[in-house]
Structure 1
Amino acid sequence: MAVVLALLALLVAGAALAVALRNGRASGTAPADDLPADTAGLRREVAALRAEAVGALRHLAVVRYDAFDEMGGRLSWSLALLDDAGDGVVLTSIRGRNEARTYAKSVAGWSSDQELSPEESEAVAHARLARS
């Protein structure tokens, strides 16, 4: 379970790095001559950065649970990955004794056209409350 979550986190981090490299912001800091000297310029820069971050998957939550009575250890999980508008995806892995199944459901505006399980709904609710 931890390996799956670690691989998923690595995948998300790799995607974020690719976007940062594409946008030329991989170092996290801009050269001093690129920074505005006045307050109004700094405000515009902060506003531009906030606008860029709107589409980022900043609302994340994981709910772990036992999907079947015969299983223990809360090996099943639902992971909500959502942006500020509540758009994104819920990934679910249901672990049985002999198999595991994985599902992905799209989310728009904090809800889904597909029926969400109670655990998936809980993950979306926790993600909505998560501070970015």
Structure 2
Amino acid sequence: MAVALSLLALAVAAAALVVALRNGVARSRKTDGDLPADAAGLRREVAALRAEAVGALRHLAVVRYDAFEEMGGRLSWSLALLDDAGDGVVLTSIRGRNEARTYAKSVSGWASDQELSPEESEAVAHARMARL
């Protein structure tokens, strides 16, 4: 019984993959006409895409922790959302026994004008190393 269910699941997954691949090929054929045919045109297109991505929030990291000794489960967290220049925001949620508080601190050039907690600094450091 378990083997039959496993084979059925494998067959369904394979069918879904075939459908997804066919749809992807069909979509790529539709958009090929929009791309420049020469190398210089492709270089301009890539440069334009890179220019658009400069301000994208591509450096992300979450640090979870216990803000209070009596609280377990690492329910508090700090989330860094930064672009390539290190500009963005750090969001922090501190979970207490009866309430949760949320804070936002702006970040510019991988640093903040406001003092960052150790967990917020850790989130920024991890985000600096990470890139989507």
Over aligned residues, Cα RMSD in angstroms? 1.8
TM-score of the two chains, using structure 2 as the length reference: 0.76
CA distance in 2, matches of 1:65, 1:28: 44
Deviation at 1:28, TM superposition (A): 9.4
The equivalent of 1:7 in structure 2 is none
Larger of the two Rg values belongs to structure: 2
Q: Which amino acid aligns with 2:79?
A: L
Q: How many residues end up aligned between the 2 structures?
A: 106
Tell me, what secondary structure is at the counterpart of 2:91?
strand
TM-score of the two chains, using structure 1 as the length reference: 0.76
Q: Deviations over 1:52-86 (max 9, x none)?
A: 00100000000000000000000000000000100
After superposing on structure 2, the runs of 4+ consecutive aligned residues of structure 1 that deviate more than 4 Å are 27-30
Bigger fraction of residues in helix: 2
Q: Deviations over 1:13-37 (max 9, x none)?
A: xxxxxxxxxxxxxx99983332110
CA distance in 1, matches of 2:59, 2:118: 18
Is the Cα–Cα contact under 8 Å of residues 78 and 90 in structure 2 kept in the other structure? yes
Tell me, what secondary structure is at the counterpart of 2:103?
strand
Identity of aligned residues (%): 88
The equivalent of 2:64 in structure 1 is 64
Unaligned runs of 5+ in 2: 1-26
CA distance in 2, matches of 1:95, 1:30: 49
Aligned in 2, Cα 1:29/1:44: closer, same or farther, shift over 3 Å?
Answer: farther
Deviation at 1:40, TM superposition (A): 1.1
Aligned in 2, Cα 1:40/1:131: closer, same or farther, shift over 3 Å?
Answer: same
Unaligned runs of 5+ in 1: 1-26
